[in-house]
Amino acid sequence: MDERFAIIDLGTNTFHVLIAEKQHGKPIILFREKVGVKLGKAGINQDLIQADAVERAVAALRDFKLKTDSFQVSTVHAFGTSALRNASNAPQVIEKIQSATGIHITVLSGPEEAEMIYYGVRSALDLGDEPSLIMDIGAGSVEFIVANRQGSLWSKSIEIGAQRILEKFAISDPITPHEIESISVFMDQSIGEVDEAVSRFSPKKLVGSSGSFDTLSDMYCQEKNIPVRDTDSETPLTVDFVRSAQQRIIQTTREQRMRMPGMIELRVDLIVAGSCMVRYILEKYKINKIRVSRYSLKEGALAMLSK
């Protein structure tokens, strides 16, 4: 049997597992799964992982371990991101997870996370020769990368994720105009280095990866009756649709959003801050074309491990 290995992404909201097998030197994905763990809930801005979140994390990784064992995986690569990068009790949390599951966790720095995301996006779609602005909205951090098909030209990981924003501004249901303005001011104060990079490289396209972009694209595909397959590495989305969808999202309650075609429970809360952030970036940098990569950190890790 060819070598099988697993990649686990311990995100601040969602944990992912991807199981692959090398066949003739090329990785083939055999299995993928995601589960909402909400590792950063009620503690993300205090740099603390709450006890109930630790229990959810242990339960999720125990389940992932059963999956990797059933596939006879020889090596597991598990990566912690923003919550584990910043929490004061992260060493104790990691020790508890590792002792309960036997899974060793490597905590990524911001630059390492951005690099993996770049490789994931590059695996999903052809970036072309012109620079694009890649944006990966996590619950804890947001990665900005200016890149083309040749390589990453600039990158920055900033701790302004959707869960941080929801809790920092105690977002109402539905969100208020004042809270939306507060998000914009917070973004203005937080992304000065992105401003400099955009000014320097002049990207004309936004390439989104991860949760909020996936949800917006799913909503678009549902509205336009476009079929989406699990194997798709890129799915469609337009700037005009982002604007209209964001307007609907900010005017609705959680219960109403759950009834929107394309919405899933895993993202119904974070999409409020996420959609505001996407629209903010599109308008701030006057970008009129958007693409959505279904690949992000875990697929980037797969590409880097397979080199």
**Is a pLDDT exceeding 60 seen at residue 5?**
yes
In degrees, rounded to 5, the angle at the alpha carbon of residue 165 between the alpha carbons of residues 47 and 147 is 95
Q: What is the pLDDT of residues 49-103, one digit of tens each?
A: 999 999 999 999 999 999 999 999 999 999 999 999 999 999 999 999 999 999 9
Q: Are 268 and 260 in contact (CB under 8 A)?
A: no
Mean of the pLDDT values across residues 155-163? 98
To the question of pTM greater than 0.75 for the whole model, the response is yes
Domain ranges of the chain: 4-107, 111-298
Lowest mean pLDDT among 152-156, 168-172, 207-211: 207-211
Is CATH 3.30.420.150 the classification given to domain 111-298?
yes
Long-range contacts of 66-71 (CB under 8 A, 24+ apart): 67/6, 67/17, 67/19, 67/31, 67/33, 68/6, 68/17, 68/19, 71/4, 71/6, 71/19, 71/30, 71/31
Specify the CATH number of the domain 4-107: 3.30.420.40
Q: Are 215 and 258 in contact (CB under 8 A)?
A: no
Please return the burial class of 67, using the count of CB atoms within 10 Å of its CB with bins 0-12, 13-18 and 19+.
middle
Q: In the numeric block, which tokens belong to residue 194? A: 């992105």
Average pLDDT, the chain: 97
Mean of the pLDDT values across residues 232-243? 98
Q: Are strands 142-148 and 4-10 parallel, antiparallel or unpaired?
A: unpaired
When computed from its CA atoms, the radius of gyration of the chain, rounded to whole angstroms, is 19
**Is a pLDDT exceeding 90 seen at residue 3?**
no
Q: Using 50, 70 and 90 to split pLDDT, how confident is the model at 23?
A: confident
Q: Do domains 4-107 and 111-298 have the same CATH topology?
A: yes
Q: Using 50, 70 and 90 to split pLDDT, how confident is the model at 307?
A: confident
Q: Using 50, 70 and 90 to split pLDDT, how confident is the model at 211?
A: confident
**Is a pLDDT exceeding 60 seen at residue 1?**
no
Q: Are strands 132-137 and 205-209 parallel, antiparallel or unpaired?
A: parallel
Specify the pLDDT at position 290. 98
Q: Using 50, 70 and 90 to split pLDDT, how confident is the model at 255?
A: very high
Mean of the pLDDT values across residues 6-13? 98
